[in-house]
Amino acid sequence: MPEKILIVDDEPMLVSLLSDYLSDLGYFTCTAADGKEALDKLRFSPDLILLDINMPGMNGLELCRMIRDEVSCPILFLTSRASEQDRINGLLLGGDDYITKPFSLPETAARIAAHLRREARSRNRSRLLASRELLVNLSNRTVHYKGEKIDFSRREFDIIEFLITHAGQVFDKERIYERVWGLDAEGDSGVIKEHISKIRQKLQKTTGRDYIETVWGVGYKWKQ
């Protein structure tokens, strides 16, 4: 799915030029001529916003201040203001970069691509958990140890995900069963013991380590 870019500027020719250029590069673009229209276009959930500062009515700085807590995507200011203080003000309000007019389309596209790559890396890092050389990728649901993949069933991975994201906390079989199978699931929480046994065997075979600790009489926890 193409990444979505919202272009906010009151210069129609510039907006058209940017939109056409970025569309040719494979992005999906949406445009707004002022701050009010931009607020309405936020429902389009952009992956990045190109925001002109000098607009009638609500300027770009005011719009950035208003939406920064609501959107997490990068905001790149487009402006003819080039003073250091102007750039500082924009960045302090939550902007991520400054592009000074007139600008090069290829350089602008390169900056956009760099910010989107940084966002993707950030999302991936937050979904990648490490535990004593074991890497658990929550996005693609894989587990690796020193580059070697360890295969788990869907339920086994669900249990690993629950325990590792709550590392150090102890959970009894009933709680694990509820979180993995759901509150309305029909079955026996005793299957948790079987699944954890299989998880341990697979981890032990590849890593020689035990990542899940049994707290006798209480339950299980992922070792920190």
CA distances 30 to 36, 40, 208, Å, are 14, 11, 53
DSSP β-bridge partners for residue 49: 6, 75
pTM: 0.59
Strands (E) across 57-151 are located at 75-79, 97-100, 128-131, 134-137, 142-145, 148-150
Conformational region of residue 154, where left means phi above 0, alpha means psi within -120 to 50, and beta covers everything else:
alpha
Q: What is the DSSP letter of 39?
A: H
Domain boundaries, the chain: 4-125, 128-222
Measured distance CA(95)–CA(158) in Å, rounded? 38
List the pLDDT tens digit at each of the 224 positions of the chain: 789 999 999 999 999 999 999 999 999 999 999 999 999 998 888 999 999 988 888 888 899 988 877 788 899 998 886 677 777 778 878 888 888 888 899 999 999 998 898 887 766 666 788 898 999 988 888 999 998 999 988 889 989 999 998 888 999 988 888 888 775 555 677 788 889 999 999 999 999 999 999 999 899 999 98
Structural contact between residues 57 and 40, judged by C-beta atoms closer than 8 angstroms? no
CATH 3.40.50.2300 fits 4-125, yes or no: yes
Q: Which CATH architecture has domain 128-222?
A: Orthogonal Bundle (1.10)
Query: 66-82 burial string, b = 16+ CB within 10 Å, else e?
Result: ebeeebebbbbbbbebe
